[in-house]
Structure 1
Amino acid sequence: MTKLTLGTYPHMLGFEQLERLLERTAKSGNEGYPPFNIEQTSDCSYRITLAVAGFAETDLAITVEDRQLVIRGRQREDGEDRIYLHRGIAARQFQRSFVLADGVEVGEAVMENGLLHIDLSRAVPETVVQTIRIRKG
C-alpha cells in the first residue's frame, strides 16, 4: 500500500511543514498521564488544563520549543526518612506535548487547586488580496 503524503496533492503547495508536525505529534509518546482538558474559551482563545495534584509550581516547567508547547513535571522526593505503609499516590515525572499552529501564542499559566491552566490565543489573520501583474515576455 502506498503512503499518501501532502506532497502528492498538486494543489497543496508549501504544506510539507504541516506533514512534519503531524508526524512529530504521532511520535510524541504522550501517555494518559496527567489527564488534561482542552477548552475553547472564545473564538480566538483556548485553555489547556492539566490535573497535576501533588505538584508544586517549582516542580513544573513550561516551554515552547519549535512551535511545540511542552509541559514537564518532576516531583522532588520527600526525603528518605518517611516510611510508607501504603503508597498509592505516584510521584512520577511526566512530559506532555501540544503542537501549536502558526499564530497561536502561549499566554499565562496559573496553578489552582491541583490544576494547571495554560491560556493560548490565536491571532486572527488579516485577509489580504494581492494582485499579480502579468509582464510581457
Structure 2
Amino acid sequence: ELGAVGEALRRSGEAALGLQKERAGLRHDLAAAATRPPELQEQKQLAVAARDFKEAARLAGALKQLVVEEEEATCREAEVAAALEANKVGLRVLAASQLELQAEVTAAQGQGDARLLSLLLTQLRHGRDER
C-alpha cells in the first residue's frame, strides 16, 4: 500500500510538472500575442491610407483571429491553473497518506522488534534455566 501511494505521488508530481510547463507556455504565448494587435492595427491603417482594402480586410481578419486565439488561450490557462491547484491538493493528500502509512509501518516494525526481543529474552532465560 505504501508503494502504491508512493507511485501515485510520483505520477501526480509528473502531472504537475506537465501542467506547469503548459501554463508557462500559455502565459508566454499570451504575452507575445499582446504585442501583436497594435502592430496589426497600424499596418491596417497604413493599408487603408494606401487604399489597399484587400490588405486592410486581411489584417482586420487577422486581428479578429488573434482576439479569438487570445480568448481561447486565456480560457485554457484558467483551466490549467485550476487543474494545477487541484493537483497540488491531491499531492498534499497523497503526501499526508504516505506519512501516515510510513508511521504505521514504523510502529508495526517497532512492535515486531519488541516482540522479537521479548521472545529472544525468554529463550535466553530458558536456556540459562536448563543449565
TM-score class normalised by the smaller sequence:
under 0.3
Q: Which of these two proteins has the greater Rg computed from alpha carbons?
A: 2
TM-score relative to the length of structure 2: 0.26
TM-score relative to the length of structure 1: 0.25
> Which structure: greater helix fraction?
2
> Which structure: greater strand fraction?
1
Q: Which has the higher contact order (CA 8 A, sep 6+)?
A: 2
